[in-house]
Structure 1
Amino acid sequence: MAVLNLRPLLGGRLVRGSQPFGLDATTTVEFLSGHGIRTVVDLRSGRERDLLPWLLVPGNGVDLLENPFDPAPQGLPPVGTAEELGELYLDWVRTGPAWVAASLRPAAHGPAFVHCSLGKDRTGVVSALALLAVGTDPEVVVADYTATTAALPELLAVMAQTWSVAVPALPPQAFNPALMLLQSPEGAIRHFLAGFAREFGDAAGYLRDAGLSAAELDALGTPLARSDAAQ
């Protein structure tokens, strides 16, 4: 199978996408080398990683950074509207600034692949802040987030198949595309961006306070040399 919902940002310095669906060791090497990836930043929980682990070949020059974030340690709050989904994202950046900074630090040092499970929510938040930190127009951030919508039918079908094998008791409606938690509506990212601006000001300042150095922030906005850029 493949990594889905895949697209490069920051001139290929950061590549975002889903978890690796069905990649064996050979296809993993092909995927990572094809995009020039030096670091895989895995935002999934331990249970998610155990279900679909990375099959990295030792000594191939690719580092794996496990930087898990549990999106709902006390259980997910009711999410029935796009605004409530955007508010959930705001809760994450309120509680996890060090996690956001650690997720983006590898991209400052070379091409990094950042992913969660669907490459939608945790990855979407990290990607949005990376784009904002280098001065990207917020409308571009909105477009990047909503680009996931086209990938969702395939993503949800593959996720349902993957989890039904691992957890046979999983109810069929767990990956119902009508669930707001499984959508990427424009209203969610707009709510997040407006709330973030009110609470934190600018993303570069947020990331600096979270632990990224001035040099790392500058690097995020610096195009890679052609030989280093993701293909």
Structure 2
Amino acid sequence: MTSTRTDRWVRLDGLTNMRDLGGLPTTDGGRTVPGRVLRSDNLQTLTPGDVRVLVEEIGLRQVVDLRTTAEILLEGRGPLRDLPEVDHRHFSLLPERGHHTDVFAVEEEDLPDLPEGWVESLLPRQAPEHALDEPPAVRYYLGYLHDRSEAVVGALRAVAAAERGASVVHCAAGKDRTGVVVALSLAVAGVPHEEIVADYAMTADVIDALVAKLAASPTYAEDMEQRDVASHTPRAETMERVLALLDERFGGPTGWLHENGFGAADQAALRARLRD
């Protein structure tokens, strides 16, 4: 097992796209604190050595999973699920048909009956209908904020409330859904837009390996095969446009959060988690 940390990247055998949100400059001359919040791709493929590094060396104590119920059930229990010291929270950023309990609050066999066609409806293949004049990726990101605002806020509130150790926010690739939640988190911490955009675009550095990893999973293989690598690659202008729209419509990401119930106290707690 090989494990090295280079700058903000966390290099583990079973992961492709994990990095630490610490060390980023803020508008008031400070920096975010390392070892508090990480962002990542799917954690299902962690090796035993990876788990040891995350839990014993980095101090991971919370997983905030942005995948759908279908993705979680299709992928099965990841190795961190068996550790009582690691809390798992689930906030799907895609609309789910029917009513679903937090998948981590109960065992899989205790979930309510899922409606016919649930796999097709819950995997991230839905064409967004919002802001049709925007590029597709921008439409997807605006869709998360429009359709699943309560899940976005819930994920941020969970990170802010963590009392110890490190939290990791992840989806499948750690790129789109994770990118939006992380962008809002960094904005609350006072990280300027250009640094938020640069963090988002870093996934392009590992996109070939990331697409290959997802293509090896039956859950994601079809999506990976239908489009070329370039179409999966995050572009800086995507996040630049999303942030610009939040500025225009809400006075910035923190304005959107205020309007959606994540007020001053919540933002202060999240900022403290990332800064103090």
What TM-score do the two structures reach when normalised by structure 2?
Answer: 0.69
1:25–1:56 Cα contact (<8 Å) kept: no
Q: Which moved more, 1:188-197 or 1:24-33?
A: 24-33
Structure 1 residue 26 displacement after superposition: 6.4
Q: Which residue of 2 aligns with 1:121?
A: 176
Q: CA RMSD in A?
A: 3.0
> Which structure exhibits the higher relative contact order, with contacts defined as CA atoms closer than 8 Å and separated by 6 or more residues?
1
5+ residue gaps, structure 1: 227-231
Matched position secondary structure for 1:90: helix
Matches within 5 A, 1:81-230: 83-110=135-162, 111-163=166-218, 170=222, 173-174=225-226, 176-179=228-231, 182-222=232-272
Q: Which moved more, 1:211-220 or 1:128-137?
A: 211-220
Matched position secondary structure for 1:136: coil
Higher helix content, 1 or 2: 1
5+ residue gaps, structure 2: 1-12, 22-31, 96-120
Structure 1 residue 105 displacement after superposition: 1.6
Number of residue pairs matched by the alignment: 219
Residues 27-79 of structure 1 show CA distances to partners (whole Å, capped at 9, x for unaligned) of 4354234322221001111222131532236563211001122278682259x
* Residues 54 and 119 of structure 1, relative CA distance in 2, 3 Å threshold: same
Structure 1 residue 98 displacement after superposition: 1.3
Q: Which residue of 2 aligns with 1:3?
A: 15
Structure 1 residue 2 displacement after superposition: 1.6
1:44 aligns with 2:67: yes
1:19–1:52 Cα contact (<8 Å) kept: no
Q: Among residues 111, 122, 126, which one is paired with 1:75 in the alignment? A: 126
How far apart are the structure 2 equivalents of 1:57 and 1:200?
38
Percent of aligned positions with the same letter in both sequences? Answer: 29
Matched position secondary structure for 1:101: helix
1:66 aligns with 2:90: yes
What TM-score do the two structures reach when normalised by structure 1?
Answer: 0.81
Structure 1 residue 8 displacement after superposition: 1.5
1:13–1:108 Cα contact (<8 Å) kept: no
